[in-house]
Structure 1
Amino acid sequence: MDRASHQSDKKHAVVTVAICFLIAVIEGLDIQAAGIAAAGIREYFGLDSSQLGIFFSAGILGLLPGALVGGRVADRVGRKKVLIWSTAVFALFTLCTVWVNSFSSLLAVRFLAGAGLGAAMPILITLASEAVTPQNRGRAVGLMYCGMPVGAAILSLVASTDFGTNWKNIFYLGGLLPIIVIPVMMWLLPESKEFLKAKEQANTIDQQSAVQSSFKDLFNSKNLFRTILIWVSYFFTLMVVYIMLSWLPSLFMELGFSRKEGSTAQFYFMVSATIGTIILGMLTDRWKKAYVIILMYGGILAGLFALNGASSLTQMYWASALVGAFVIGCQGVLYAFGGIVYPTELRGTGVGVASAVGRVGAMLGPAVAGQLLAAGFGAAGVISAAIPCIIISAIFMLFLVRRLQQV
């Protein structure tokens, strides 16, 4: 029976992480979609640069309420159910992007698509975390989250084909893929065993205890300090992540390289990000947590300094790959920490709120970078401004590791 139970648990974990990986691939597609389709959307709707910036922000803004609500509802009614509905919302409004005819309706559907995607992300992290033993959570979240750069890299390749030259095809792809994945989730995705166990215990002990965990529990005596620490780290790390995701090709052009060379750098960034996310996730389980924090933030700093100091195209490609490996990998590790920091009954809520705080940084980062470029600081100024953000994140994560060791 023990062997049979072990095989069942292993199958449960593999299926869960694989399906969550597919949803993360779709998130990666969406992250790249707006930028790749920008030129076609600008022409189709007759937008100026300011309106195009608002279009970019609408999807990211939608992630905030989605992350806040999705994680909370998943703690109440179940991970699987909320993930299916949030994926359906994202798919529907991504397809609607193709069919709208006004700028206001374009913003509305991008916001709602972002809300669906924002609700899905904390559930993906929670499901991947709860599908494995606590000793393997970093690896599981890393394997799941590497789907994001895979999706972004795939869309970059699609964009270079005749199919990808039509902006509507980009959103058809982004909307139809999750519709295909939804039946797979309904059929194959198991509910979290930890959630079912916690729910059963709650029903046995106290019928009301299932709804007693709430947002305020993030700030009780046990969780207050760790909540603040992880929020600050999420905020500043995602600020740098989205500066790189949004501006890397443009920063290349600021440094005198061509648009095509900038796009190639973005591709190297995403490929190395996939590798870095997997390796850092595995190291999270095997090394002391403090060593992983020092490695990944040290790697980001090394990459930023390399970008600032590189003089040839080859050096810039290597620097882009170095930054990608560590900055996206770092985000995967932070998501894994969200699964470690909070108990089962609060995990979806905790990861969801932390993700929402991180998304605020994600919105501010590209805007701050744009202001720095407009003020004449150039690419070097943008890259230099990212360095203190990384140092602050590293310090707060090291404090969090120390706090977890004291418990």
Structure 2
Amino acid sequence: MNITARISQTPMSGYQWLIIALCTFMNCLDGFDVMAVAFTGPSVTEEFGLTGSQFGLLVSVGLIGMAIGSMLLAPFADLVGRRPLILLSLALGTIGMFGAAMAPSVTVMGVFRLVTGIGVGGILASTNVMASEFSNARNRGLAIGIYTAGYGIGATVASLVAKAAVGGDWRIVFYAGGFGTLLALVVIAAILPESVAFLEQKRPSGALARINRTLARMRMEVLTDTDLDQAAAARTGGERAASGWLKQRLPPTVLLWITFITIMFGFYFVNSWTPTLLVEEGLSEGAAVTAGMAISIGGTVGSILYGVAARMRTPRVVLIGFSLLSAAMMVVFILSTSTLWLGFGIGVVVGALINGCIAGAYTVGPALYPANIRSVGMGWALGMGRIGAILSPTVAGMLNDAGASATQLYVGAAMVVATCALVLVGLRRYDPDSSPAAKEELAV
């Protein structure tokens, strides 16, 4: 039995939950990064004299960087290890945040936003795999839900910093992000271990000792060289059999990409444009940040709620419900913001639901792939999902310049999110949790 299978069948230790917490901490950086540019949007637009399209492009530059990081940096995790790539990505994120804080022009800021995005993309692709690899089968959905909640936590912190900076210097928000990323770099360098699944597969110098140190902390039985040899022999046979297998997974792969694209379209629209649109609708900047903060607060609990629900029902079915409810509540939210307390309350619900959708995509996706190509499948799904994330603020900016109202933009984004439910219905025949035939196919 390989290490991944042993971990899947063994109760989780406190050390494994610590690793999940570290991955969650790093996911906070994604939430802080996206919301930093969203909450400072009105101030940045005023200082640099940006149009709606230009501001949308500034948001999209960071998301383009995330796509580059997810799709191009992530494969190096299989060559040099998860931990080195995470450390490199954190270093890039630190440079990008501080650079954006000191940028003298929107062009320079855009360059550093791209660097930050590349770093965040590398972090996300690696930490998503790490959180999955160190979780057992029973708690994987909950662990991914907790991991995804990191986005909402980071977004909430960004909103608090931005709210404190209202009327002051918007650059404070990016300085705070830089110091937070630097802190993460130090903590991860000191505590986070290398993936034991990576060490088992690649067996670099000292691999057995490093594996056994980690297994001992997880309160699991240590391995011998013979165990690694046997796992390698079994894995070699599986890799030969998988050479033509990826082509057979093309239909579910495309459906998964569309799922990520539609969810991320709505997710990044809500998180990137809400404060700016509400200011244009007549709310004060402070009130708009408060409404945006409500969405962030909801996001901190939404993914965990999804994880709990997914323990009781099929994850794909739960995700269908979350996507439909998200679309409906997005429309209700934009129609209720004139009453601040009501808009705040509904904003919490919207944040919970749309963030739960992200957790759902992270949970449903890995089950569609066998272990030996799961990282590649999810890495590309994350990268393709960024298409929706990139299109969302850009299209919204163009429509905003053309005269579209906040209500019209929100309804359009809600329709995109609702289409995710239709895609998930089509994914049923490939989902091992819903189809016995799919489960047997993956087991081959």
| TM-score normalised by length of structure 2 | 0.81
Distance change (3 Å), C-alpha of 1:196 and 1:226: farther
1:287 partnered with 2:343: no
Q: Following the alignment from structure 2 to structure 1, what is the Cα–Cα distance between the partners of residues 83 and 424?
A: 30
Q: Following the alignment from structure 2 to structure 1, what is the Cα–Cα distance between the partners of residues 163 and 13?
A: 39
Could you tell me which residue of structure 2 aligns to residue 261 of structure 1? 287
Q: What pairs with 1:46-65 in structure 2 (closer than 5 Å)? A: 46-49=48-51, 51-65=54-68
Structure 1 alignment gaps of length 5 or more = none
The answer on whether the counterparts of 1:202 and 1:210 sit within 8 Å (CA) in structure 2 is no
Alpha-carbon offset, residue 316 of structure 1? 2.3
Alpha-carbon offset, residue 300 of structure 1? 0.7
Q: Which moved more, 1:383-392 or 1:199-208?
A: 199-208
The answer on whether the counterparts of 1:218 and 1:350 sit within 8 Å (CA) in structure 2 is no
Alpha-carbon offset, residue 231 of structure 1? 0.1
* Partner SS, residue 286 of structure 1: coil
Could you tell me which residue of structure 2 aligns to residue 179 of structure 1? 182
Q: What do the CA deviations read for 1:226-277 (whole angstroms, capped 9, x no partner)?
A: 2111100100111111111122224434555443322211111111111111
Q: Following the alignment from structure 1 to structure 2, what is the Cα–Cα distance between the partners of residues 94 and 305?
A: 33
Q: Following the alignment from structure 1 to structure 2, what is the Cα–Cα distance between the partners of residues 281 and 207?
A: 30
Alpha-carbon offset, residue 345 of structure 1? 3.0
Q: Following the alignment from structure 2 to structure 1, what is the Cα–Cα distance between the partners of residues 111 and 245?
A: 31
* Partner SS, residue 230 of structure 1: helix
The answer on whether the counterparts of 1:70 and 1:119 sit within 8 Å (CA) in structure 2 is yes
Could you tell me which residue of structure 2 aligns to residue 348 of structure 1? 375
Q: Following the alignment from structure 1 to structure 2, what is the Cα–Cα distance between the partners of residues 101 and 255?
A: 30
The answer on whether the counterparts of 1:339 and 1:351 sit within 8 Å (CA) in structure 2 is yes
The answer on whether the counterparts of 2:24 and 2:150 sit within 8 Å (CA) in structure 1 is yes
Q: Which of 301, 306, 309 is the aligned partner of 1:275?
A: 301
The answer on whether the counterparts of 2:42 and 2:276 sit within 8 Å (CA) in structure 1 is no
Alpha-carbon offset, residue 203 of structure 1? 8.4
Q: Following the alignment from structure 2 to structure 1, what is the Cα–Cα distance between the partners of residues 166 and 320?
A: 43
Distance change (3 Å), C-alpha of 1:218 and 1:161: farther
Q: What pairs with 1:173-252 in structure 2 (closer than 5 Å)? A: 173-199=176-202, 200=228, 204-205=232-233, 219-221=246-248, 223-252=249-278
The answer on whether the counterparts of 2:328 and 2:414 sit within 8 Å (CA) in structure 1 is no
Distance change (3 Å), C-alpha of 1:87 and 1:313: same
Q: What pairs with 1:1-400 in structure 2 (closer than 5 Å)? A: 9-39=12-42, 41-42=44-45, 46-49=48-51, 51-161=54-164, 165-199=168-202, 200=228, 204-205=232-233, 219-221=246-248, 223-253=249-279, 255-307=281-333, 309-310=335-336, 312-400=339-427
Alpha-carbon offset, residue 213 of structure 1? 11
Alpha-carbon offset, residue 378 of structure 1? 1.5
Alpha-carbon offset, residue 96 of structure 1? 2.2
Alpha-carbon offset, residue 164 of structure 1? 8.9
The answer on whether the counterparts of 1:303 and 1:323 sit within 8 Å (CA) in structure 2 is yes
Alpha-carbon offset, residue 360 of structure 1? 1.0
What amino acid sits opposite 1:358 in the alignment? Answer: G
Q: What do the CA deviations read for 1:305-348 (whole angstroms, capped 9, x no partner)?
A: 42355363333223222211101111121122233333333232
The answer on whether the counterparts of 1:12 and 1:190 sit within 8 Å (CA) in structure 2 is no
Q: Following the alignment from structure 1 to structure 2, what is the Cα–Cα distance between the partners of residues 163 and 181?
A: 26
Q: Following the alignment from structure 1 to structure 2, what is the Cα–Cα distance between the partners of residues 302 and 146?
A: 22
Distance change (3 Å), C-alpha of 1:170 and 1:211: farther
Structure 2 alignment gaps of length 5 or more = 1-6, 203-227, 439-444
Q: What do the CA deviations read for 1:44-72 (whole angstroms, capped 9, x no partner)?
A: 6x443254443322211111110102322
Q: What do the CA deviations read for 1:279-299 (whole angstroms, capped 9, x no partner)?
A: 102222332224312321232
* Partner SS, residue 397 of structure 1: helix
Q: Following the alignment from structure 1 to structure 2, what is the Cα–Cα distance between the partners of residues 402 and 275?
A: 30
Alpha-carbon offset, residue 136 of structure 1? 1.7
* Partner SS, residue 193 of structure 2: coil
Alpha-carbon offset, residue 202 of structure 1? 9.4
| TM-score normalised by length of structure 1 | 0.87
* Partner SS, residue 295 of structure 1: helix
Could you tell me which residue of structure 1 aligns to residue 220 of structure 2? none
The alignment yields a C-alpha RMSD, in angstroms, of 3.0
Question: Is the helix fraction higher in 1 or 2?
Answer: 1
Q: Following the alignment from structure 2 to structure 1, what is the Cα–Cα distance between the partners of residues 245 and 289?
A: 41
What amino acid sits opposite 1:289 in the alignment? Answer: P
Distance change (3 Å), C-alpha of 1:35 and 1:70: same
Q: Following the alignment from structure 1 to structure 2, what is the Cα–Cα distance between the partners of residues 140 and 335?
A: 11
Distance change (3 Å), C-alpha of 1:384 and 1:7: closer
Q: What do the CA deviations read for 1:203-242 (whole angstroms, capped 9, x no partner)?
A: 833998999899x978421x21221111001001111111
The answer on whether the counterparts of 1:270 and 1:324 sit within 8 Å (CA) in structure 2 is yes
